Amino acid sequence: MQTNAELFARRNASVARGIGHVTPLFAERALNSEIWDVEGKRYIDFAGGIAVLNTGHRHPRVMEAVRRQLDQFTHTCFQVMAYETYVALAERLNALVPMSGPVKTAFFTTGAEATENAVKIARATTGRPGIIAFTGAFHGRTILASAMTGKVRPYKRNLGPSLPDVWHVPFPTADSDISTDMALRHLDFIFKADVDPGRVSAIIIEPVQGEGGFHQAPPNLLKGLRAICDEHGIVLIADEVQTGFGRTGKMFAMEHYDVEPDLICVAKSLAGGFPLSGVIGRAQIMDAAEPGGLGGTYAGNPLACAAALAVLDVIENEHLIDRANAIGARLGSAVDRMARANHLLPISPSRGPGAMVAFDIFRERGSNMPDVEQTAHVIQRAHQNGLILLSCGTIANTVRLLVPLTASDDNVDEGLAILEGALVA
């Protein structure tokens, strides 16, 4: 049996340095909300592969659907020889998204492909190049996606010039002293100083920022953006790569708002751990790109489509949207109790809708000065004690909790106990 350290030494010798790691661990097997490393140690998973495993590791229904598909075929390329599961999945999603009128879907492989193709579709619709995004946003690591991402380190630093025609608006959060009115005024300044709105194809926004720290977009911001898009013929894109499929206590986070986007980007938990992403949107907009303008060799892979159909069944049959709200309440209550405990590090109260829960770590109680070093130590102590945990945030002092929605109460409580131990001052 090889140890984690031995495998990590091999990794360092053979894999590019630019691929970062949260833990020095190598997985051997996993089930639902538990993972075992190559040394046999068990961990509670509060990361879910970065929000990919809302239905847990190796859900039986998902595994069975993939096995059936394996016995039929693994690849044809949908553009070469189509298959029914791609169409069936598009039909299911078209019926679920919070949009009125005819809706269509295109599938891809990664979240970055989804956001980039959404922009391509918006540009085909409008004939314009410009894109408005937000500070703190994460839309992927590829060239256009990283240009839209509102965080320099580590996603842009030393990686060459960013693409032109992308502008960022400050995202309103309580701790940044940026209000919705200020954000919308900044957008107006951009329209006056940098780009005419008639050159903007799309505004892209996460309803709840992921890497940015689990900050939820204020309702008035979404309403304001919808009005601006309607006034100037701009496509409103909701990036639901991290928020989709029950994570926020709704199937899609945009259901928390009285606002309809034009396009929705999905990925991560769509296929239960298999690589699949998509853009879902108004049919007239989705059909703007010419045949051949969208797609990809592996886009809408048959194994992933079969998995995704099973994921949607699991979410419905096991009432995982209700479960997300129950888990979120359990997590939030525990974090809020920890925030009041003087023997623990100073942390903020919990935030985030449904089971998309996070909190910040501060230097001093009663202040909002971020403690990045302690946050890294908490994440490390959690791993050492059997809990897989992630940080995020524009300053990297946010701890995010992405518990599989299929996790038992006992496993959630076990993970919270380890988290509390890691927060001891």
Q: Are residues 400 and 253 in the same domain?
A: no
Token pair 């008639």 is at which residue?
Answer: 198
Q: Is residue 110 part of a domain?
A: yes
The residue out of 317, 342, 358 marking a domain boundary is: 317
Q: Are residues 285 and 221 in the same domain?
A: yes
**pLDDT of 1:** 79
Q: Are residues 302 and 417 in the same domain?
A: no
Query: What is the domain extent for residue 418?
Result: 4-58+319-422
The set of residues, in sequence order, having a beta carbon less than 8 Å from that of 303 and lying 6+ positions away, is 66, 69, 70, 74, 274
Distances (CA, A) of 114 to 8, 226, 266, 284, 339: 32, 21, 7, 18, 37
Q: Is residue 108 part of a domain?
A: yes
Average pLDDT across each block of 10 residues of the chain; the chain has 425 residues. List them in order.
94 94 96 98 98 98 98 98 98 98 98 98 98 96 93 76 90 90 97 97 98 96 98 98 98 98 98 98 98 96 98 98 98 98 97 97 92 97 98 95 98 98 95
The residue out of 317, 340, 357 marking a domain boundary is: 317
**pLDDT of 67:** 98
Half-sphere exposure of 408 (CA within 13 A, CB side): 7
**pLDDT of 161:** 67
Q: Is residue 68 part of a domain?
A: no
Q: Is residue 188 part of a domain?
A: yes
Q: Are residues 313 and 343 in the same domain?
A: no
Q: Are residues 249 and 304 in the same domain?
A: yes
Q: Are residues 311 and 324 in the same domain?
A: no
Q: Is residue 263 part of a domain?
A: yes
Q: Is residue 64 part of a domain?
A: no
CB–CB of 22/380 below 8 Å?
Answer: no
What does the alpha-carbon distance between residue 415 and residue 390 come to, in Å, rounded to a whole number? 13
Q: How many domains does the chain have?
A: 2
DSSP calls for 167-235: EEEPPP-GGGT--HHHHHHHHHHHHHHT--GGGEEEEEE-SB-TTTTSPBPPHHHHHHHHHHHHHHTPE
CATH label of the domain that carries residue 100: 3.40.640.10
CB–CB of 215/208 below 8 Å?
Answer: yes
Q: How far separated are the first and last CA of the chain, in Å rounded?
A: 36
Q: Are residues 309 and 323 in the same domain?
A: no
Q: What is the 3-state secondary structure (H, E, C) of 88-138?
A: HHHHHHHHHCCCCCCEEEEEECCHHHHHHHHHHHHHHHHCCCEEEEECCCC
Q: Are residues 210 and 126 in the same domain?
A: yes
> What's the predicted TM-score (pTM) here?
0.96
Q: Are residues 51 and 119 in the same domain?
A: no
CATH label of the domain that carries residue 410: 3.90.1150.10
Phi and psi, residue 347, nearest 5°: -135, 160
Phi and psi, residue 106, nearest 5°: -130, 140
Q: Are residues 161 and 303 in the same domain?
A: yes
Q: Are residues 130 and 278 in the same domain?
A: yes
Q: Is residue 233 part of a domain?
A: yes
Q: Is residue 93 part of a domain?
A: yes
The residue out of 261, 283, 317 marking a domain boundary is: 317
Q: Which two tokens stand for residue 123?
A: 């540009």
What does the alpha-carbon distance between residue 237 and residue 159 come to, in Å, rounded to a whole number? 26
Q: Which two tokens stand for residue 39?
A: 């040394």
**pLDDT of 155:** 79
Q: Are residues 253 and 278 in the same domain?
A: yes
